[in-house]
């Protein structure tokens, strides 16, 4: 399912080796974009790149030196950047305010929050040098937890809430400085991705876990990574020029329904 809507565009996808990132890399390639898959998972990233014709670059999103190297690579290889999908993120280890330790807090913040900030910052710098003038689309992966916190994952909830407001600040700056760069956040509900395996002990049967998580949605199922990829593709395309600073839920009506009877 494609119509070449990203033809001629260059995209970077963080956390692009699996889950939502991998589905988006496939969709972007089908839509004609050149894609750089940026991830710490080198084996998965290289395989996906080989399968799709994308390019893999190893990236720890919390490391500014690695961001600088990645942007230098993109500029040298493609000469432009049109789409930045800041998708990399981790869970917070199931730690509440009572059990949170500083090492976990700092790690989750570095990846989920600082990593997105660095991605926006470096993307804007390169998009500003695009042939034909400054332009681009930045999409940041937040969560339904940007609106409603998880009692047993304070770090994840906090950082995803921060991504929501960070996105609006970036969009406001880009508009005021007439950059022609848009920045939006997406807010997935429960999606069928490998991240859930991180939340349970090794060897645990994931099937019942996924069933319980799917039941959180009024739709009675988890979303598919390909469904999120379709939304990201639209926001990345020239079909969404007036969508800027927005928060877009993709959650099967999870946040629309009151939990009471």
Active-site amino acid positions: 156
Asked whether 141 and 120 are in contact (CB, 8 A), the reply is no
CA pseudo-torsion sign 47, 53, 54, 58:
positive
Distance CA 11, CA 136 (A): 10
Asked whether 84 and 119 are in contact (CB, 8 A), the reply is yes
Which residues, in sequence order, are bridge partners of residue 138? 84, 183
Asked whether 136 and 130 are in contact (CB, 8 A), the reply is yes
Distance CA 29, CA 233 (A): 10
């Amino acid at each position: 399912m494609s119509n070449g809507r990203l033809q001629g565009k260059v995209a970077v996808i963080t956390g692009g080796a699996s889950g939502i990132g991998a589905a988006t890399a496939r969709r972007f390639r089908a839509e004609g974009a050149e894609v750089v898959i940026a991830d710490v998972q080198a084996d998965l990233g290289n395989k996906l790149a080989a399968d799709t014709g994308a390019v893999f670059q190893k990236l720890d999103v919390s490391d500014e030196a690695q961001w600088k190297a990645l942007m230098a690579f993109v500029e040298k290889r493609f000469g432009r950047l049109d789409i930045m999908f800041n998708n990399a993120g981790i869970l917070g280890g199931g730690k509440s305010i009572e059990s949170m330790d500083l090492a976990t807090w700092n790690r989750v913040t570095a990846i989920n929050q600082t990593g997105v900030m660095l991605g926006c910052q470096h993307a804007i710098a390169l998009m500003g040098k695009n042939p034909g003038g400054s332009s681009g689309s930045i999409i940041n992966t937040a969560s339904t937890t940007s609106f409603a916190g998880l009692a047993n994952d304070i770090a994840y909830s906090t950082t995803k809430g921060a991504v929501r407001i960070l996105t609006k600040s970036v969009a406001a700056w880009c508009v005021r400085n007439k950059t022609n760069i848009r920045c939006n956040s997406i807010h997935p509900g429960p999606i069928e991705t490998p991240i859930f395996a991180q939340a349970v002990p090794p060897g645990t049967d994931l099937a019942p876990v996924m069933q319980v998580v799917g039941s959180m949605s009024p739709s009675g199922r988890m979303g598919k990574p390909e469904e999120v990829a379709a939304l990201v593709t639209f926001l990345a395309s020239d079909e969404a020029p007036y969508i800027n600073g927005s928060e877009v839920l993709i959650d099967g009506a999870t946040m629309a329904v009151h939990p009471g009877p």
